[in-house]
Chain A
Amino acid sequence: MTNLSESETIGAATTEKYKYGFVTDIDSDMAPKGLNEDIVRFISAKKNEPQWMLDWRLKAFRMWLDQADEEPTWAKVSYPKIDFQDSYYYAAPKKKEGPKSLDEVDPKLLETYEKLGIPLYEQKMLAGVAVDAVFDSVSVATTFKAELEKHGVIFCSISEAVQKHPELVKKYLGSVVPAADNFYATLNSAVFTDGSFVYVPEGVRCPMELSTYFRINAAQTGQFERTLIIADKGSYVSYLEGCTAPMRDEHQLHAAVVELVAMDDAEIKYSTVQNWYPGDENGVGGIYNFVTKRGACRGKNSKISWTQVETGSAITWKYPSCILQGDNSVGEFYSIAITNNRQQADTGTKMIHMGKNTKSRIISKGISAGKADSTYRGLVKVMPNAEGARNFTQCDSLLIGDKCGAHTVPYIEVRNKTAQVEHEATTSKISEEQLLYCRQRGLSEEDATTLIVNGFCRQVLQELPMEFAVEAQKLVGISLEGSVG
C-alpha cells in the first residue's frame, strides 16, 4: 500500500530544500552561558526538582569533569573541538502558568508545529497518536492523556515524572545507561532538561502510537533530552520520535539519552526519523547529534526494536543498542543513514547477548552522496552463558558519486559455541543498467535515483509505522537532492 504513494511523495520531495528551517521568536528563559555546578543547580531549581534529583545530577557532573579527557575520538567523524563553556544549557519558552489546554499554548508554538506538519488537534486524535512535544527543553503540550490514563499508561515529560512518579524515575533512571556511561551521556545526566517518560503497566497494550517531536530552536542551545520508557510485564508500546531543527550558521550540540526497559514478555518498538539541520553544502552549521540510546530486554521473551531513519545532522554519533538479558529476548535494529554534502554519520548498534536463546537482527542501509562519509559501526557480543544465541547482520552501503565514503566496522565477539552469528556486508553504487532501465521508462535521473534508493532501503522502511514511512520516503528524496546529475 505504501509503495503506491511513493511517486507523489518523491515528486514533492525532489523540489524541497530544508523546509523546516524557520526560527520561532519567543523570549527564552535562559540559563547563563557556560557549564559549572551552579548551572546544574539552576536547571534543577528551574524545574523545582527534589533534592535526590539534584544530587544525581551533581554526581554526574563531577564524573563528567573526571572524564574530561575521555571525549570519544574513535568514531570516523571529524569536527573542531567543542567548547562546552560556550553554550547555553537551559532555554525554556516563557510561560505564566502551565497550559491547561491547547488553547492556552502560545499560538506561535502551535504555528511551529503546524509548519512541521505535526497535527496537535483533532486529526491527530483520529490518527490515534498522542504527542508529547519537546520544544527546546520543556514539554509544552501533552495530549490524549485521558485516553492513556484510562489504560494506566503514564506518558508525560520526564520533569513531570520526577514530580509525580519519583519511585519509578528513581528505580529506572540510569539503570540502562549509567550516569557515567560515556562522555556525552554523563554530560546529559548532569544537565538534561526534559524529555519523555512512558510507563506501560503490566498486561497493557498501549492503545496508540506515542509520538514526540523535538526541535532545537534557541541559538547555541545544547539540547539534552532524557527519555525513559518502561514496558512492564506483557505490555506493548510503540514510540515514534521525529526530530527537526531550524537552520543556523553555528553548530549546535544535541546529546540525548534514551533508556528503554522491557520486562517479561514486553515489547517496545522505538522509531526515529531524524532530520536535524544538516548544515549547508559547505558544511556550515548543522547539528552535532551525539546520542546514547540503549534498551534492556530485562525480562524473558521481551523484545526491543529500534528503527531509525537518519537523514539530518552535520554529525551523527549514535548506536541504539540492546542488552538481551532475559532468556528468549529479541533485539532488532533497522537503520537507514543518508549523508549528503559534508555530512558525517557514524552509527550502528550493539547487541549484547546474555540470556539463553536470545536473538538479534541488524539491517543497516548506508547511503553516501556529495562529499559525505557514512560509517556503520556495530558490536555483536555473545556472552559465555548465552546458549543458543542467534544474530543476523546485514550492512549494505550505496555510494552516489565519487567524492563520498562508505565504511563498515563490525565487531563480532563470540564466547559461546552454540551461538550462530552471521554478518554480511556489501558496498556498491547504483548500476548504470538500473538507471538506464528507469529512464527508458520515462523517469528523470533524480527520480530514478530516489526510487532505486528507496528500494535499497525497503527492508528498513517497512519496519516503520505507516505514517512515518511516508515521511521517511520523502526525506530520502530531499536528502539526496543535488547529489546526481
Chain B
Amino acid sequence: MKPRRITADFPFVGAFEQLREDLPGAPLGWLQDARRGALARFRDEALPSRRVEEWKYTDLRALADTEFGVPSADVSDALRQRAAGIGDPGAPRLVVANGRVDHDASRLDGLPAGVTLLPMSRALETHADALKASLDPANGDALAALNGAFMMDGYVLLLDAGVTLEPDIEIVFLADAAGGPVALHPRNVVVMGEGARATVNETHLGDGVYWSNPVTDISLAPGSALHHYKTQAEGGDAFHLAQARVTLQQGAHYQGFLAMTGGRLARQTQSAVIAGPDAAFNVAGAYLVGAGQHCDITTDVEHAAGGGASRQVFKGVLDDDGHGVFQGKVTVARDAQKTDAHQLNNALLLSDAAEIDAKPELEIYADDVKCSHGATAGDLDESELFYLQARGIDAATARRLLVSAFVRAALEEIREADRARFDTLVEDWLEAGHG
C-alpha cells in the first residue's frame, strides 16, 4: 500500500530553534509554545501524498525533493519596482519582502479611524491580546501547522464595527530566492467588526525557487462585507500553497476573486464556514496554466447555518502541458435549511498535452435547499472560431477574443468597479506566449 505521507527533511525545519527568536511575536510565551506545538504536528503528519483524497490530483513530491532553507532579507530592485507599480500609488499598502515587512515600500498612514493595518510582527507587539483569539498556529492541515510554526510577516487588518475602509488597500508579497531555495510562511489575519466594509487587494510575486505557504484567517462579524481580490503571479519556479479560511456570521458577505497565473505548482485552498444565518460566500476566479505548470483550486464551503448562499464560478484555461485541478466541496448541514449553493467550473483545453481534473462535490443533509454544480471541459468552439474568421478576424485574434470572453464570465461575478485590475489578465497571459 502506498504511504499517505511524504516525509521531507527541509533544512529550514531543522533550523527552527535558531529561527524562532527572529520570528514575529518572539517575546510572547504562548506563541512560542503554540509554534512548537504546530511544528510537532507537522513533524507528525508530514506532507500529504496523493493517497490522501484532498491531494488526489496534486503531487507534493517535487516540493519534498527541494532543499528549502531560511530566506535572507534581500529582495532585488527589479522586484521592488514591480511591487511599486501595483495598484493606485496613493493607496495604503503593505509590502512584505521575503517574509519581512518592507517599511520603506509600505504606506500605512492616513487610514480612517477604527482601522488597524499592520504587519504581523508589529501587530503582535501592539495588539497581542486581540490577535490571540485569531491565531491558532496548530489549526488546520499539516501545511497550515507548518505555517503556524514558522509564521512570518503578513498583514493584520482589524476593523471596528461600522467602519468602512476607504480607499482599497494593497498588500504585496515579494519573494526572492537568488541565494537558493527558501520557504516563506506569511500569516494574515482579517477581523471585521459588525457592519464593517473593506476591499483588500493581494498580489504575490517573486523570482527563483521558493515555496510560499501563506495562511489567511478571515473573520466576518454580522453584517460585515469583505471584497478580497488575489493575484497570484509567482515566479515560474515557485511553489505557492495558500490557504484562506473564512468564517461568516449572520448576514456577512464575502466576495473573492482569484487570478492564478504563476508558479510551477500552485494551490489555493479556499474554505468557508457559514456560521450565522443568511450569510453569503462568493468566490470566483480564473486559472491560466501554461507549460510546466500545475494549478489547483480547492474550495470547501460548509453551510452550518440556514438561509445562506454560496456561489463559486471558476474558469480554467490550460495550455501546453499545463495541468489544472478544481476540487470544490459544498457541505450543507442538517439545520442549514433554505441554503442556496451553486458551483461551476469550466475548463478550456488549448493544447493536446493539457490536462484538467475536476471534482465538484456536494454533501447535503438538509432537504429544503437549492444546490447545484456544473463542470465542463473542452476546446474552443470550432463554429465560433469559424464565425469570427468568416467576418474577417484573423485566427489568433479570434482565439484571443474567445478565450477572453470565456474568462470574462468569472470576472462578471465581481463588482464592475473592481474588474479593472483584471481587465488585461487574459491578454497579458496570451501575449506572454500562451494559447
Chains A and B in contact, CB within 8 Å: yes
A170 to chain B, nearest CB (A): 31
Does A281 sit within 8 A of B, measured CB to CB? no
- Set A400, A410, A426, A427: member contacting B375, Cβ < 8 A: A410
Contact B377 A412 (CB under 8 A): yes
Residues of A with C-beta under 8 A to B361:
407-410
CB < 8 Å A-B pair total? 115
- CB nearest to B351 among chain A residues: A417
Q: How many angstroms between the C-alpha atoms of A400 and B368 in the bound complex?
A: 9
> Complex: how many Å from CA A411 to CA B329?
12
A contact residues around B375 at 8 Å (CB) = 410, 412, 421-423
Chain A residue with minimal CB distance to B354?
Answer: A417
Residue A175 is within 8 A (CB to CB) of chain B in the complex: no
Known: A69-B1, A417-B354, A419-B377. A428 touches B360 (CB 8 A): no
A405–B352 CB distance below 8 A: no
The answer to whether A410 touches B360 (Cβ under 8 A) is: yes
Contact partners of B334 in chain A: CB under 8 A: 402-403
B26 within 8 A of A: no
Residue A404 CB within 8 A of the other chain: yes
In the assembled complex, B347 has its CB within 8 A of some CB on chain A: yes
Secondary structure of the B contact surface, majority rule: strand
Instruction: Identify whether the interface residues of A are mostly helix, strand, loop, or mixed.
Output: strand
Residue of A nearest to B366 (CB): A402
Instruction: Report Cα–Cα, A482/B368, bound state, in Å.
Output: 19
Asked whether, in the complex, the Cβ of B364 is within 8 Å of the Cβ of A427, the reply is yes
Min CB distance A373 to B, Å, is 9
| B window 332-354: CB within 8 A of A | 334, 337, 347, 349-354
Residue of A nearest to B361 (CB): A409
- Are A407 and B364 within 8 A (Cβ)? yes
| Cross-chain contact of A399 among B349, B356, B364, B376 (Cβ < 8 A) | B364
Question: Which chain A residues in 398-452 approach chain B with CB under 8 Å?
Answer: 399-429
CB-CB nearest in chain B for A74: B53
Query: Given that A69-B1, A406-B364, A419-B377 are contacting pairs, would A414 and B371 also be in contact in the complex, using a CB cutoff of 8 Å?
Result: no
Tell me the chain A residues, 118-172 only, with Cβ under 8 Å from chain B.
none
Count of B interface residues, CB-CB < 8 Å? 36
Q: Is A321's beta carbon under 8 Å from chain B?
A: no
Most buried by A among B358, B360, B362, B363: B362
Question: A429 contacts B355, CB within 8 Å?
Answer: no
Is A471 on the interface with B (CB-CB < 8 A)?
A: no
| A404:B367 contact, CB within 8 angstroms | yes
B358 contact set on A, CB distance < 8 A: 410-413, 423
Residues of A within 8 A of B371 (CB): 426-428
How far, in angstroms, from A39 to B179 measured CA to CA in the complex? Answer: 66
Query: Does A302 count as interface, using CB distance less than 8 angstroms?
Result: no
Whole-angstrom CA separation of A399 from B378 in the bound complex = 32
Q: In the complex, which residues of chain B have a beta carbon less than 8 angstroms from the beta carbon of A425?
A: 360, 362, 372-374
- Interface positions, chain A 459-483, Cβ under 8 Å from B, are none
When A402-B367, A412-B359, A415-B355 are in contact, do A423 and B374 touch as well, CB less than 8 Å? yes
Least CB distance, B51 to chain A, in whole angstroms: 10
- Specify the chain A residue showing the minimal Cβ separation from B331: A407
CA distance in complex: A406, B370 (Å): 12
The verdict on A427 contacting B372 (CB below 8 Å), with A399-B364, A412-B377, A421-B378 known, is: yes
**Is A397 in contact with chain B by the CB < 8 A criterion?**
yes
A411–B357 CB distance below 8 A: yes
**Cβ B337 vs Cβ A408 within 8 A:** no
A-B contact list, 26 entries, CB within 8 Å: A74-B53, A402-B366, A402-B367, A402-B368, A406-B364, A408-B360, A408-B362, A410-B359, A410-B375, A411-B358, A412-B359, A413-B355, A413-B357, A413-B358, A414-B349, A417-B349, A417-B350, A418-B379, A420-B376, A421-B375, A421-B378, A424-B372, A425-B374, A426-B372, A428-B371, A429-B369
**Which residues of A approach B to under 8 Å, CB–CB?**
69-70, 74, 382, 384, 397, 399-429
- Chain B residues with a Cβ under 8 A of chain A: 1, 53, 334, 337, 347, 349-379
